[in-house]
Amino acid sequence: MTTADGRLERWERLVARQLEAAPYLLLVVSAVLAWQNESQGRMLTLGLAALAAVWIAVMSRFRAVYVIGLVILIGVLCTRSIWFASFFAFTGYLHSWSHLRGLWRFAGVTATAAISVTAYQGGLPQSAGDVISFLFFTAAIVAAVGLFSFVGEVTTERSAERKRMVAQLEETMRENAGLHAQLLVQAREAGVFDERQRMAGEIHDTIAQGLTGVVTQLQAAVHARESDTDWQRHVGNAMTLARESLAEARRTIHAVGPAQLESTPLPEALDELTARWAALHELRADFTATGTARPLHPEVEETLLRTAQEALANIAKHAGAARVGLTLSYMNDTVTLDVRDDGSGFDPLLAADGGGFGLTAMRKRVTRLAGTLEIESEYGGGTAVSASVPAITRRDTGV
Protein backbone atom coordinates (compact mmCIF):
# COMPACT_ATOMS: atom_id res chain seq x y z
CA MET A 1 0.00 0.00 0.00
CA THR A 2 1.33 3.47 -0.87
CA THR A 3 1.93 6.19 1.71
CA ALA A 4 -0.83 8.30 0.10
CA ASP A 5 -3.30 5.49 0.73
CA GLY A 6 -2.10 5.19 4.31
CA ARG A 7 -2.56 8.91 4.91
CA LEU A 8 -6.05 8.80 3.38
CA GLU A 9 -7.02 5.93 5.65
CA ARG A 10 -5.75 7.66 8.80
CA TRP A 11 -7.66 10.77 7.75
CA GLU A 12 -10.84 8.76 7.26
CA ARG A 13 -10.51 7.15 10.68
CA LEU A 14 -9.97 10.58 12.27
CA VAL A 15 -13.08 12.03 10.61
CA ALA A 16 -15.15 9.02 11.66
CA ARG A 17 -14.04 9.41 15.30
CA GLN A 18 -14.87 13.11 15.28
CA LEU A 19 -18.26 12.48 13.74
CA GLU A 20 -18.99 10.17 16.64
CA ALA A 21 -18.02 12.82 19.18
CA ALA A 22 -19.75 15.69 17.34
CA PRO A 23 -23.30 15.26 18.78
CA TYR A 24 -22.05 15.44 22.38
CA LEU A 25 -19.91 18.47 21.61
CA LEU A 26 -22.84 20.24 19.94
CA LEU A 27 -25.04 19.33 22.87
CA VAL A 28 -22.56 20.71 25.42
CA VAL A 29 -22.06 23.95 23.47
CA SER A 30 -25.85 24.41 23.14
CA ALA A 31 -26.44 23.66 26.82
CA VAL A 32 -23.72 26.05 28.03
CA LEU A 33 -25.00 28.88 25.84
CA ALA A 34 -28.59 28.16 26.95
CA TRP A 35 -27.49 28.19 30.61
CA GLN A 36 -25.88 31.59 30.17
CA ASN A 37 -28.68 33.18 28.13
CA GLU A 38 -31.90 31.77 29.56
CA SER A 39 -32.84 32.54 33.11
CA GLN A 40 -35.88 30.26 33.51
CA GLY A 41 -35.95 26.50 34.00
CA ARG A 42 -32.20 26.03 33.68
CA MET A 43 -32.22 22.72 35.54
CA LEU A 44 -35.01 21.32 33.40
CA THR A 45 -33.09 22.30 30.25
CA LEU A 46 -29.96 20.68 31.62
CA GLY A 47 -31.96 17.56 32.51
CA LEU A 48 -33.39 17.37 28.98
CA ALA A 49 -29.90 17.83 27.50
CA ALA A 50 -28.61 15.00 29.71
CA LEU A 51 -31.52 12.82 28.55
CA ALA A 52 -30.57 13.60 24.94
CA ALA A 53 -26.96 12.55 25.63
CA VAL A 54 -28.12 9.25 27.16
CA TRP A 55 -30.51 8.69 24.26
CA ILE A 56 -27.70 9.10 21.74
CA ALA A 57 -25.36 6.87 23.72
CA VAL A 58 -27.83 4.05 24.37
CA MET A 59 -30.52 4.06 21.69
CA SER A 60 -28.65 4.56 18.42
CA ARG A 61 -28.86 0.82 17.68
CA PHE A 62 -32.65 1.06 17.16
CA ARG A 63 -32.33 3.08 14.00
CA ALA A 64 -35.83 4.43 13.17
CA VAL A 65 -36.97 4.55 16.82
CA TYR A 66 -33.74 6.29 17.74
CA VAL A 67 -34.09 8.97 15.06
CA ILE A 68 -37.76 9.63 15.92
CA GLY A 69 -36.81 10.06 19.59
CA LEU A 70 -33.84 12.23 18.64
CA VAL A 71 -36.01 14.54 16.52
CA ILE A 72 -38.56 14.84 19.34
CA LEU A 73 -35.76 15.69 21.81
CA ILE A 74 -34.38 18.28 19.41
CA GLY A 75 -37.89 19.76 19.13
CA VAL A 76 -38.33 19.91 22.92
CA LEU A 77 -34.83 21.39 23.48
CA CYS A 78 -35.50 24.03 20.80
CA THR A 79 -38.54 25.18 22.79
CA ARG A 80 -36.15 25.66 25.75
CA SER A 81 -33.54 27.70 23.89
CA ILE A 82 -32.73 28.83 20.34
CA TRP A 83 -29.12 27.72 20.92
CA PHE A 84 -30.16 24.10 20.53
CA ALA A 85 -31.43 24.93 17.06
CA SER A 86 -28.13 26.65 16.26
CA PHE A 87 -25.88 23.76 17.28
CA PHE A 88 -27.39 20.54 18.57
CA ALA A 89 -29.96 20.32 15.73
CA PHE A 90 -27.15 19.33 13.35
CA THR A 91 -27.16 15.93 15.02
CA GLY A 92 -30.64 15.44 13.51
CA TYR A 93 -29.26 15.83 9.98
CA LEU A 94 -26.19 13.75 10.66
CA HIS A 95 -27.98 10.83 12.24
CA SER A 96 -31.02 10.87 9.93
CA TRP A 97 -28.58 10.33 7.13
CA SER A 98 -26.31 7.78 8.81
CA HIS A 99 -28.98 5.74 10.66
CA LEU A 100 -31.77 5.67 8.06
CA ARG A 101 -32.06 4.55 4.44
CA GLY A 102 -33.82 5.87 1.31
CA LEU A 103 -36.75 8.28 1.72
CA TRP A 104 -36.64 7.91 5.52
CA ARG A 105 -33.45 9.91 5.47
CA PHE A 106 -35.28 12.85 3.91
CA ALA A 107 -38.11 12.45 6.40
CA GLY A 108 -35.64 12.77 9.29
CA VAL A 109 -33.78 15.68 7.70
CA THR A 110 -37.05 17.49 6.84
CA ALA A 111 -38.40 17.08 10.38
CA THR A 112 -35.16 18.41 11.86
CA ALA A 113 -35.09 21.32 9.38
CA ALA A 114 -38.75 22.16 10.12
CA ILE A 115 -38.05 22.24 13.87
CA SER A 116 -34.96 24.45 13.45
CA VAL A 117 -36.70 26.90 11.14
CA THR A 118 -39.70 27.07 13.49
CA ALA A 119 -37.36 27.81 16.38
CA TYR A 120 -35.62 30.57 14.40
CA GLN A 121 -38.94 32.09 13.46
CA GLY A 122 -39.88 32.12 17.12
CA GLY A 123 -42.80 29.70 16.85
CA LEU A 124 -45.22 28.21 14.32
CA PRO A 125 -45.78 30.41 11.21
CA GLN A 126 -48.56 32.95 11.72
CA SER A 127 -48.93 34.72 8.37
CA ALA A 128 -48.80 33.61 4.75
CA GLY A 129 -45.36 35.25 4.52
CA ASP A 130 -44.21 33.20 7.50
CA VAL A 131 -45.42 30.03 5.83
CA ILE A 132 -43.62 30.84 2.61
CA SER A 133 -40.30 31.63 4.33
CA PHE A 134 -40.75 28.56 6.57
CA LEU A 135 -41.21 26.36 3.51
CA PHE A 136 -38.35 28.05 1.68
CA PHE A 137 -35.77 27.67 4.48
CA THR A 138 -36.82 24.13 5.28
CA ALA A 139 -36.54 23.11 1.63
CA ALA A 140 -33.19 24.90 1.32
CA ILE A 141 -31.78 23.06 4.35
CA VAL A 142 -33.07 19.69 3.13
CA ALA A 143 -31.58 20.31 -0.33
CA ALA A 144 -28.21 21.38 1.12
CA VAL A 145 -27.99 18.44 3.52
CA GLY A 146 -29.03 16.03 0.75
CA LEU A 147 -26.41 17.43 -1.64
CA PHE A 148 -23.54 17.36 0.85
CA SER A 149 -24.37 13.89 2.03
CA PHE A 150 -24.64 12.65 -1.52
CA VAL A 151 -21.22 14.05 -2.43
CA GLY A 152 -19.78 12.59 0.77
CA GLU A 153 -21.20 9.19 -0.07
CA VAL A 154 -19.85 9.21 -3.62
CA THR A 155 -16.40 10.11 -2.25
CA THR A 156 -16.54 7.31 0.31
CA GLU A 157 -17.68 4.86 -2.36
CA ARG A 158 -14.81 5.95 -4.63
CA SER A 159 -12.28 5.56 -1.89
CA ALA A 160 -13.63 2.10 -1.04
CA GLU A 161 -13.49 1.16 -4.73
CA ARG A 162 -9.91 2.37 -4.88
CA LYS A 163 -9.02 0.30 -1.84
CA ARG A 164 -10.63 -2.76 -3.41
CA MET A 165 -8.64 -2.18 -6.60
CA VAL A 166 -5.36 -1.81 -4.73
CA ALA A 167 -6.07 -5.02 -2.82
CA GLN A 168 -6.92 -6.80 -6.06
CA LEU A 169 -3.77 -5.51 -7.72
CA GLU A 170 -1.67 -6.73 -4.81
CA GLU A 171 -3.35 -10.12 -5.04
CA THR A 172 -2.69 -10.30 -8.79
CA MET A 173 0.93 -9.34 -8.29
CA ARG A 174 1.35 -12.06 -5.68
CA GLU A 175 -0.21 -14.59 -8.06
CA ASN A 176 2.05 -13.40 -10.89
CA ALA A 177 5.12 -13.80 -8.75
CA GLY A 178 4.04 -17.37 -8.04
CA LEU A 179 3.47 -18.02 -11.73
CA HIS A 180 6.85 -16.55 -12.58
CA ALA A 181 8.62 -18.81 -10.13
CA GLN A 182 6.74 -21.80 -11.53
CA LEU A 183 7.73 -20.90 -15.11
CA LEU A 184 11.37 -20.60 -14.10
CA VAL A 185 11.29 -24.01 -12.46
CA GLN A 186 9.63 -25.46 -15.56
CA ALA A 187 12.16 -23.83 -17.87
CA ARG A 188 15.00 -25.17 -15.75
CA GLU A 189 13.46 -28.64 -15.78
CA ALA A 190 12.94 -28.44 -19.55
CA GLY A 191 16.58 -27.36 -19.92
CA VAL A 192 17.78 -30.30 -17.86
CA PHE A 193 15.54 -32.62 -19.89
CA ASP A 194 16.84 -31.19 -23.21
CA GLU A 195 20.42 -31.54 -22.09
CA ARG A 196 19.77 -35.15 -21.03
CA GLN A 197 18.19 -35.85 -24.43
CA ARG A 198 21.15 -34.27 -26.18
CA MET A 199 23.62 -36.38 -24.20
CA ALA A 200 21.63 -39.54 -24.86
CA GLY A 201 21.50 -38.74 -28.58
CA GLU A 202 25.20 -38.01 -28.76
CA ILE A 203 26.12 -41.12 -26.81
CA HIS A 204 24.02 -43.12 -29.24
CA ASP A 205 25.61 -41.41 -32.24
CA THR A 206 29.18 -41.81 -31.04
CA ILE A 207 29.75 -44.55 -28.48
CA ALA A 208 26.95 -46.93 -29.47
CA GLN A 209 27.64 -46.63 -33.19
CA GLY A 210 31.37 -46.91 -32.61
CA LEU A 211 31.03 -50.00 -30.45
CA THR A 212 28.72 -51.60 -33.04
CA GLY A 213 31.42 -51.01 -35.65
CA VAL A 214 34.13 -52.39 -33.35
CA VAL A 215 32.12 -55.55 -32.71
CA THR A 216 31.45 -56.01 -36.43
CA GLN A 217 35.13 -55.64 -37.28
CA LEU A 218 36.25 -58.00 -34.52
CA GLN A 219 33.70 -60.57 -35.72
CA ALA A 220 35.10 -60.18 -39.24
CA ALA A 221 38.62 -60.66 -37.83
CA VAL A 222 37.58 -63.94 -36.14
CA HIS A 223 36.07 -65.19 -39.43
CA ALA A 224 39.15 -64.12 -41.39
CA ARG A 225 41.44 -65.90 -38.95
CA GLU A 226 39.44 -69.11 -39.30
CA SER A 227 39.73 -68.93 -43.08
CA ASP A 228 43.33 -67.81 -42.75
CA THR A 229 42.91 -64.49 -44.56
CA ASP A 230 43.92 -60.93 -43.69
CA TRP A 231 42.49 -60.71 -40.17
CA GLN A 232 44.93 -57.98 -39.04
CA ARG A 233 43.18 -55.45 -41.28
CA HIS A 234 39.89 -55.94 -39.36
CA VAL A 235 41.60 -55.63 -36.01
CA GLY A 236 43.24 -52.44 -37.24
CA ASN A 237 39.82 -51.13 -38.32
CA ALA A 238 38.39 -51.99 -34.92
CA MET A 239 41.16 -50.11 -33.16
CA THR A 240 40.73 -47.04 -35.34
CA LEU A 241 36.97 -47.07 -34.72
CA ALA A 242 37.42 -47.47 -30.98
CA ARG A 243 39.90 -44.61 -30.85
CA GLU A 244 37.63 -42.36 -32.90
CA SER A 245 34.52 -43.05 -30.81
CA LEU A 246 36.51 -42.42 -27.67
CA ALA A 247 37.56 -39.02 -29.03
CA GLU A 248 33.97 -38.26 -30.09
CA ALA A 249 32.64 -39.24 -26.66
CA ARG A 250 35.09 -36.82 -25.06
CA ARG A 251 33.98 -34.05 -27.41
CA THR A 252 30.34 -34.79 -26.57
CA ILE A 253 30.95 -34.32 -22.87
CA HIS A 254 32.57 -30.96 -23.58
CA ALA A 255 29.73 -30.10 -25.97
CA VAL A 256 31.87 -29.27 -28.97
CA GLY A 257 30.99 -30.08 -32.55
CA PRO A 258 32.25 -33.22 -34.31
CA ALA A 259 35.94 -33.38 -35.21
CA GLN A 260 35.19 -33.93 -38.90
CA LEU A 261 33.73 -30.43 -39.21
CA GLU A 262 36.48 -28.67 -37.33
CA SER A 263 38.57 -27.68 -40.33
CA THR A 264 36.70 -29.31 -43.18
CA PRO A 265 33.69 -27.95 -45.10
CA LEU A 266 30.56 -30.06 -44.79
CA PRO A 267 30.60 -31.54 -48.34
CA GLU A 268 34.18 -32.72 -47.87
CA ALA A 269 33.45 -34.12 -44.42
CA LEU A 270 30.50 -36.08 -45.83
CA ASP A 271 32.57 -37.28 -48.78
CA GLU A 272 35.27 -38.50 -46.40
CA LEU A 273 32.71 -40.14 -44.12
CA THR A 274 31.12 -41.96 -47.08
CA ALA A 275 34.48 -43.18 -48.41
CA ARG A 276 35.63 -44.46 -45.03
CA TRP A 277 32.28 -46.13 -44.36
CA ALA A 278 32.39 -47.83 -47.80
CA ALA A 279 35.91 -49.07 -47.18
CA LEU A 280 35.00 -50.32 -43.72
CA HIS A 281 31.97 -52.25 -44.90
CA GLU A 282 33.32 -53.15 -48.31
CA LEU A 283 30.33 -51.67 -50.06
CA ARG A 284 29.86 -49.23 -52.87
CA ALA A 285 28.84 -45.80 -51.61
CA ASP A 286 28.84 -42.52 -53.55
CA PHE A 287 28.56 -38.98 -52.37
CA THR A 288 27.48 -36.00 -54.51
CA ALA A 289 26.95 -32.34 -53.68
CA THR A 290 24.73 -30.02 -55.75
CA GLY A 291 24.06 -26.28 -55.63
CA THR A 292 26.33 -23.61 -54.23
CA ALA A 293 28.10 -24.95 -51.18
CA ARG A 294 28.55 -22.38 -48.42
CA PRO A 295 29.49 -22.48 -44.75
CA LEU A 296 26.40 -23.02 -42.60
CA HIS A 297 25.75 -22.49 -38.93
CA PRO A 298 27.67 -25.18 -36.95
CA GLU A 299 24.42 -26.51 -35.51
CA VAL A 300 23.02 -27.04 -39.03
CA GLU A 301 26.17 -28.72 -40.31
CA GLU A 302 26.39 -30.97 -37.27
CA THR A 303 22.76 -32.00 -37.68
CA LEU A 304 23.36 -33.02 -41.29
CA LEU A 305 26.56 -34.89 -40.43
CA ARG A 306 24.90 -36.78 -37.57
CA THR A 307 21.98 -37.64 -39.83
CA ALA A 308 24.36 -39.09 -42.41
CA GLN A 309 26.24 -41.04 -39.71
CA GLU A 310 23.07 -42.57 -38.28
CA ALA A 311 21.62 -43.36 -41.71
CA LEU A 312 24.88 -45.11 -42.72
CA ALA A 313 25.05 -46.93 -39.37
CA ASN A 314 21.48 -48.19 -39.92
CA ILE A 315 22.32 -49.38 -43.41
CA ALA A 316 25.33 -51.28 -42.09
CA LYS A 317 23.30 -52.74 -39.25
CA HIS A 318 19.92 -53.46 -40.85
CA ALA A 319 19.80 -53.05 -44.65
CA GLY A 320 22.14 -55.59 -46.20
CA ALA A 321 22.46 -53.19 -49.12
CA ALA A 322 24.74 -53.44 -52.14
CA ARG A 323 24.74 -49.77 -53.14
CA VAL A 324 24.41 -46.60 -51.17
CA GLY A 325 24.12 -43.01 -52.38
CA LEU A 326 24.33 -39.71 -50.46
CA THR A 327 23.36 -36.35 -51.95
CA LEU A 328 23.79 -32.96 -50.34
CA SER A 329 21.76 -30.25 -52.11
CA TYR A 330 22.29 -26.58 -51.36
CA MET A 331 19.18 -24.60 -52.33
CA ASN A 332 18.24 -20.97 -51.70
CA ASP A 333 16.63 -21.38 -48.31
CA THR A 334 17.20 -25.00 -47.41
CA VAL A 335 19.84 -27.68 -47.47
CA THR A 336 18.76 -31.28 -48.01
CA LEU A 337 20.64 -34.48 -47.33
CA ASP A 338 19.36 -37.66 -49.03
CA VAL A 339 20.67 -41.10 -48.10
CA ARG A 340 19.41 -44.00 -50.25
CA ASP A 341 20.16 -47.70 -50.14
CA ASP A 342 18.93 -50.71 -52.08
CA GLY A 343 18.66 -52.91 -49.04
CA SER A 344 15.88 -54.86 -47.33
CA GLY A 345 13.75 -51.84 -46.45
CA PHE A 346 11.40 -51.67 -43.50
CA ASP A 347 8.09 -50.23 -42.40
CA PRO A 348 8.82 -46.70 -41.16
CA LEU A 349 5.48 -46.61 -39.29
CA LEU A 350 6.35 -49.75 -37.34
CA ALA A 351 9.83 -48.43 -36.63
CA ALA A 352 8.32 -45.16 -35.42
CA ASP A 353 6.01 -47.07 -33.06
CA GLY A 354 8.76 -49.38 -31.87
CA GLY A 355 10.79 -46.26 -31.13
CA GLY A 356 14.34 -47.07 -32.21
CA PHE A 357 16.58 -44.45 -30.66
CA GLY A 358 18.52 -43.58 -33.82
CA LEU A 359 15.63 -42.49 -36.02
CA THR A 360 13.91 -40.71 -33.13
CA ALA A 361 17.04 -38.74 -32.27
CA MET A 362 17.52 -37.96 -35.97
CA ARG A 363 14.00 -36.55 -36.22
CA LYS A 364 14.43 -34.54 -33.01
CA ARG A 365 17.64 -32.95 -34.19
CA VAL A 366 16.11 -31.98 -37.53
CA THR A 367 12.82 -30.63 -36.15
CA ARG A 368 14.66 -28.67 -33.47
CA LEU A 369 16.09 -26.62 -36.35
CA ALA A 370 12.59 -26.22 -37.84
CA GLY A 371 13.52 -28.74 -40.52
CA THR A 372 11.71 -31.83 -41.82
CA LEU A 373 12.70 -35.49 -41.95
CA GLU A 374 11.15 -37.90 -44.44
CA ILE A 375 11.73 -41.62 -44.49
CA GLU A 376 10.57 -43.65 -47.46
CA SER A 377 10.99 -47.37 -47.32
CA GLU A 378 9.28 -50.62 -48.15
CA TYR A 379 10.23 -54.23 -47.72
CA GLY A 380 12.60 -55.26 -50.50
CA GLY A 381 12.55 -51.79 -51.99
CA GLY A 382 15.38 -50.11 -50.14
CA THR A 383 15.23 -46.98 -48.01
CA ALA A 384 15.50 -43.24 -48.62
CA VAL A 385 16.10 -40.85 -45.74
CA SER A 386 15.74 -37.17 -46.52
CA ALA A 387 16.53 -34.38 -44.07
CA SER A 388 15.81 -30.72 -44.97
CA VAL A 389 16.97 -27.91 -42.74
CA PRO A 390 16.99 -24.12 -43.14
CA ALA A 391 20.20 -22.92 -44.80
CA ILE A 392 21.23 -20.62 -41.96
CA THR A 393 24.68 -19.32 -42.88
CA ARG A 394 27.36 -18.39 -40.37
CA ARG A 395 27.05 -14.78 -41.47
CA ASP A 396 23.28 -14.73 -40.64
CA THR A 397 23.97 -15.35 -37.00
CA GLY A 398 27.43 -13.86 -36.72
CA VAL A 399 29.06 -17.16 -35.74
Ligand X SMILES: Nc1ncnc2c1ncn2[C@@H]1O[C@H](COP(=O)(O)OP(=O)(O)O)[C@@H](O)[C@H]1O
Please report, as ranges, the residues that interact with Mg ion according to CB under 5 A. Answer: 314, 358
Q: Which of 162, 317 has the CB closer to ligand X?
A: 317
Q: Is 317 in the site for ligand X (CB under 6 A)?
A: yes
Identified binder of ligand X from the candidate list 28, 107, 207, 351, rule CB under 6 A: 351
Distance CA 152, CA 27 (A): 24
Helix residue ranges, H only, the chain: 3-37, 42-59, 63-80, 82-83, 90-99, 103-120, 128-203, 209-226, 231-253, 266-281, 298-314, 348-354, 357-368, 394-397
**Which parts of 318-347 interact with ligand X (CB under 6 A)?**
318-319, 341, 343-346
Give whichever of 221 and 373 is closer to ligand X, judged by the CB atom. Answer: 373
Task: Give dist(CA 299, CA 314) in Å, integer.
Answer: 22
x/- mask, ligand X, residues 355-384, rule CB under 6 A, reads -xxxxx----------------------x-
Q: How far is the CB of 386 from ligand X (least distance, A)?
A: 13
DSSP letters for 105-162 = HHHHHHHHHHHHHHHHTTSS--SHHHHHHHHHHHHHHHHHHHHHHHHHHHHHHHHHHH
Q: How far is the CB of 208 from ligand X (least distance, A)?
A: 8
Nearer to Mg ion, 213 or 358 (CB): 358
Q: Using CB distances below 5 to 8 A depending on partner kind, what does residue 346 bind out of ligand X, Mg ion, none? A: ligand X
C-alpha closest to that of 105 among 52, 48, 153: 153
- Alpha-carbon Rg of the chain, whole angstroms? 49
Residue with CB nearest Mg ion? 358
* CA 126 – CA 138 distance, rounded (Å): 16
Collapsed DSSP state (helix, strand, coil) of residue 285? strand
CB of 252 to ligand X, least distance (A): 18
Distance CA 47, CA 80 (A): 11
Look at residue 120 and give the partner it binds from Mg ion, ligand X, none, a contact being a CB closer than 5 to 8 Å depending on partner kind.
none
Identify what 108 binds: ligand X, Mg ion, none; CB under 5 to 8 Å per kind: none
Q: x-or-dash pattern for ligand X, window 287-316, by CB under 6 A?
A: ---------------------------xx-
Contact between 23 and ligand X (CB under 6 A)?
no
**Residues that bind ligand X in the complex, under the rule CB under 6 A:** 314-315, 317-319, 341, 343-346, 351, 356-360, 383
